[in-house]
Structure 1
Amino acid sequence: MTVSIHEDYDPGCISLVPIFSDLSLQEMGEVAAITRERHVSKGETVYFAGKVSKELFVVHQGRVKISRITESGKSQVLRVIGPGEFTGEMSVLHEMPRTDFAEALQDSTMCVIPGDALKSLMKRFPSIALKVLEELSTRVEQLQARLEQNQHSSPEYRTARAILDLSGGSSELTLPMTKGDLASQLGMTQETLSRKLSLLQEQGVIYQPGPGVIHIVDRPGLEAVN
């Protein structure tokens, strides 16, 4: 399939996604031609676990939480994705029921790509398939590292490390999720997370001026928490 691309053509979220970065503007246009836009409100479920859905979901605007239900029946946050990041690829590749579910953390816009069309694109453009594999490998490594960290490191260390990672080098950050979701991702209760944040503030390494906002006052001190 070939589409006509004008000079002012904007491929939107397609151009934000690393797996499509090696495509030409014309080829991105072909991807965009099979993509539909979906708007989801804050708190709305993008997809449910247990269902087979042959679609790849790409975040164009907003943030989406990916979670799963543990054997004990609790919801565990796996990751939070933002613009240019995607989810749903495993169900597309293996045509198996989803093992996680996705929920919008804020009003968001998703670009939805049909699975069969995505597979055809992978055959035509091998770079897409390779980058999907690279992304999956990175996620597995990150998940393994987080599981090991949650099992073998202190709640203080996990809290400090999360602040540093989320700050992106800035001295101020607004949490991209609720404290409950962050606590779930770090393998602790919300009450424990709140206590550790208060302790870090008492130690003078951070300051919390308001809900969900953290100022890093002493970065070396925060990095030294163990």
Structure 2
Amino acid sequence: MSLFRNLDREALAVIIRQARTRRVKRGERLFVQGRPAAACHALLHGRVRIAQQSAEGKTVTLRFVGPGEMFGVIGVFAGGRYLADAIAAADCVEIRWSASVMTDLMRRHPQIALNVIAVLGQRFAETQDRLREVMTERVEQRIARTLLRLAKADMRGGAIVVRATQRDLGEMSGATHYTVSRALRSWQARGLVRSRRNEIELRDVTAIEKIAEDLSPPDADRAG
């Protein structure tokens, strides 16, 4: 886990003893946007959707969390409140450390503080990348990039199956549902993907990568 890299076995044993385990049913919230960030979380099993609500009440999917990933960290160390909702997209098992326990661990193991800085930097870089993509790339590129990001955590044997709805894909790529549906239909006709309810199978990853890497400027009528 990113927060505990470069720590020795003795330190890791202490950290594990301080953790608390919780089972969460699909659809339940692990934490709620705007509430005090009470803990740092790590997923052992399942899948968690991170979604943010606008002032108008619109919900936007930001990313998905898979086993071995940590989440809720930024809220604990930057502002003290959760910045988004965490919703179980499947039955989950998580471990968590209260904010006070994590602060104490950081005092005892300064490497954790360095790891927190690295996590914050990575999140900032990801946000910059997403903003740049929305501002400069064609909508098909953004959809392809989002599929490839999601695919990293969704390997099933020899196939790559992205477990996300077309709505999720649109929210994460800054595209309308209609545009996502149109792109997937086109790619499916070419044999690049197979779209099913709540999941998309990538059948030609190389072709999807070529779409994502197209650096031509966005067309006004294809901006999504």
Matches within 5 A, 1:74-223: 74-94=58-78, 96-168=80-152, 172-202=159-189, 204=190, 206-208=192-194, 210-211=196-197, 212-217=199-204, 219-220=206-207, 222-223=209-210
Q: 1:220 to 1:31 in 2, by over 3 A?
A: same
Q: Is the CA contact (8 Å cut-off) linking 1:54 and 1:95 kept in structure 2?
A: no
- Please, which runs of 5 or more residues in structure 1 have no aligned partner? 1-16
- Deviation readout 1:175-206 (Å, 9 max, x if unpaired): 1322211211111222321111111223x251
Is 1:57 aligned with 2:41?
Answer: yes
Deviation, structure 1 residue 84: 1.9
1:162 Cα deviation (Å)?
2.4
Q: Post-superposition shift, 1:72?
A: 3.8
Counterpart residue type for residue 198 of structure 1: R
Alpha-carbon distance in 1 for matches of 2:205, 2:125: 29
CA RMSD of aligned residues (A): 2.3
Q: Distance in 1 between matches of 2:34 and 2:122?
A: 24
Do the aligned partners of residues 26 and 190 (structure 1) sit closer, same or farther apart at CA in structure 2, a change above 3 Å counting?
same
Between the aligned partners of 2:113 and 2:4, the Cα distance in structure 1 is 10
The answer for the alignment partner of 2:220 in structure 1 is none
Displacement of 1:209: 6.2
Letter matched to residue 122 of structure 2: T
Unaligned segments of structure 2, at least 5 residues: 215-224
> Could you say what secondary structure the match of 1:57 adopts?
strand
Seq. identity, %: 26
| Aligned CA distance change for structure 1 residues 32 and 205 (closer, same or farther; 3 Å) | same
| TM norm structure 2 | 0.83
For 2:172 and 2:69, how far apart are their aligned partners in 1? 18
